[in-house]
Structure 1
Amino acid sequence: MKKKKQLKEQVYRAKLRIRLGDERKEFFKNSLPILDYILVMIDGLTLEADPPYQQIQYMFEKLMIEMGVKWDDFYDWEETEKIQSKQLVSMNGVISTTSTAMDIYSKCRSTQLRVAMTTTASTESSSSLPYVQIE
Structure 2
Amino acid sequence: MARRTATCGCGQLRLGCAGEPVRISICHCLECQKRTGSVFAVQARFATDTVTIAGRSSRWTRVGDSGAAATFHFCPDCGSTVYWEPSAFPGFVSVAVGSFADPDFPPPRVSVYEERRHRWTLELAALPLEHHF
Relative contact order (C-alpha < 8 Å, sep 6+): which is higher? 2
- Structure 1 or 2: more helix by fraction: 1
Q: Give the TM-score of the pair, scaled to structure 1.
A: 0.21
